[in-house]
Amino acid sequence: MSLYYDSDDVQLHHGDALDVARTLPDGMARTIVTSPPYFGLRDYGEEGQIGAEDSPQAYTDRLVGVFHELRRVLVDDGTLWLNLGDTYTGSGGNGRINPRLSGRAPENVRNRKGASHNGGLAPRNLLGIPWRVAFALQADGWWLRQEIIWRKPNGLPTNAPDRYESRHEHVFLLAKSSHYFFAGDARDLGHSDVWGMPTESLPGEHVAVMPPELARRAIRAGSDPGDIVLDPFSGSGTTGAVATFEGRKYIGIDLNRDYLRMSLETRFLQPSLPWEAL
């Protein structure tokens, strides 16, 4: 665990999200905008990575532990914007990985020898991961305020002949307390709770990332210019790039050093990136 990069408006930490969270001071961040690794989908090549647990419950428990600690790091009227996708038992789904980062082909964590990842459920069951996590966070003390649907017009087709294609993910708005900061003009960016926006990829990379517009809506709603935005699963740095573009400060954490390097090279060290380059 180490401080990987530090500047006036960006701070990147290399290490496990929970371990780093324990080192952060109380009440430093205004909002958390994040998309953790999805359960049982892709192997990012790191020991102890979230998403490779043996069951949905183990995955849920780990995320609850991370966000329990990060609730302390939020200001009293802070919010958590959590993007999660779902998966089926016995299937790989469409995860996000850049094979050039680890120097090997993408591997589905379900292909690991002895991995169950089904929680005792028979194959072909939808696991309901997003709602499992949302309800567990609610039970841990978060206010679950809203479910937002991210509708993906360019979602990948399914090979399953007996169900429709999955073209959406969930974004949950959770709050530290019953009265929380929500910018008055935030709804100008999206009036309803269904946000239609395509998945995007970084130039030269075959990795699906959170759309900058999705991060922008959450950041604009949950913070003011000058506030700190935190992402405990920083990845390619989408949240951070949008946060700094919108005049916020950013703290990012990632277990994979190569993702931190990539985010620096493609985003944080680039001078004055225009919106379309985020």
**Domain range list for the chain:** 2-273
Q: Which residue has the higher pLDDT, 177 or 97?
A: 177
Distance between CA 197 and CA 138 in Å, rounded?
27
For residues 89-96, average pLDDT? 51
Instruction: Please report the pLDDT score of residue 98 as a whole number.
Output: 36
pTM above 0.95, yes or no: no
For the chain, give the percent of residues with pLDDT over 90.
62
Instruction: Please report the pLDDT score of residue 101 as a whole number.
Output: 36
Distance between CA 267 and CA 2 in Å, rounded?
20
Q: Which residue has the higher pLDDT, 204 or 165?
A: 165
Which residues does residue 14 pair with via DSSP β-bridges, in sequence order?
A: 2, 254
CATH no. for 2-273: 3.40.50.150
Instruction: Please report the pLDDT score of residue 203 as a whole number.
Output: 54
| Mean pLDDT rounded to a whole number for the chain | 86
Q: Examine the pLDDT at 118 and tell me if it is beyond 90.
A: no
Q: Examine the pLDDT at 99 and tell me if it is beyond 50.
A: no
Instruction: Please report the pLDDT score of residue 245 as a whole number.
Output: 95
